[in-house]
Structure 1
């Protein structure tokens, strides 16, 4: 087995042929309904249309030819707010705990800076998503707002949503 330094890992722009691999990552997350405020019953086509929206640049994390994670990057708002980026990240179960989300976040910060963004803001981080809250805090995000009970968690009931922000 190759050492981690010998493993071929990289992040690249998503290609149309990545759609099946991306769907395999995002659909289970959407269906679980625990971290994204998306319709749990959306079709694969609807999920991919959302993820590949015209306002988004989509990337994949690939290891040894297998897509393990994906993220999108976009402007958080139009016009006077278009200098602040927004992003969404999802990883497959095999990628969890392996630094994939952290690597995608770091890549997204660099990509956002290269595109002229001055900051990044997440508008709706589900407070019960402890792994995400921990990662974003560790990467310098501050919680700048809390919306009580804004998310209907399928098992926990009403859960707060956090607004998190960091300069780039």
Structure 2
């Protein structure tokens, strides 16, 4: 597996991952009815941001996007989002994507990385982020409606470099 910059011909492999994650409504606060064009416009970053894919040969196993968390005076803090194909979860793809994003942020002079909305029941992601040095700064109670758990919290997670 390798992580590399997204290329236009990767979209047919990225879209099913995004579609599956978003329609599950368990980990991302995105519209489950999002179309492929809308998803592409939202997921594919323009500079100074970057979108990447984790691939095994021609198969897309996961994807990430990264960039400044906020414009202007907040642009020194980065953010990132990650999605992994269901059959590739638990195999190190998410770890590789997160490590790539952290290295990218450091190389590009960011002072920190912040995740604005990590669903508290997404235990695999929370564990991964903590293992890689993030802390939960706060949890917004009942800010995410999970399809089976009801309203649960969203973590604000942060790592200073």
- TM-score between both structures, scaled by the size of structure 2: 0.96
Comparing 43-52 and 10-19, the one that deviates more: 43-52
Alignment correspondent of 1:10? 2
Aligned length: 160
SS of 2:141's equivalent? strand
Q: CA deviation at 1:64?
A: 2.3
Alignment correspondent of 1:25? 17
Q: CA deviation at 1:155?
A: 1.3
Q: How does 1:1-168 map to 2 (within 5 A)?
A: 9-54=1-46, 56-168=49-161
* 1:138-159 deviation digits (Å, cap 9, x = unpaired): 1110100110000011111100
In the alignment, the residues of structure 2 paired with residue 103 and residue 157 of structure 1 have an alpha-carbon distance, to the nearest angstrom, of 31
Runs of 4+ in 1 over 2 A off after TM superposition: 53-56
Unaligned regions of 5+ residues in structure 2, if any?
Answer: none
In the alignment, the residues of structure 2 paired with residue 140 and residue 74 of structure 1 have an alpha-carbon distance, to the nearest angstrom, of 19
For the Cα contact (< 8 Å) 2:45–2:67, is it kept in 1?
Answer: no
Larger Rg: 1
- TM-score between both structures, scaled by the size of structure 1: 0.92
In the alignment, the residues of structure 2 paired with residue 146 and residue 25 of structure 1 have an alpha-carbon distance, to the nearest angstrom, of 27
Unaligned regions of 5+ residues in structure 1, if any?
Answer: 1-8
In the alignment, the residues of structure 2 paired with residue 152 and residue 53 of structure 1 have an alpha-carbon distance, to the nearest angstrom, of 27
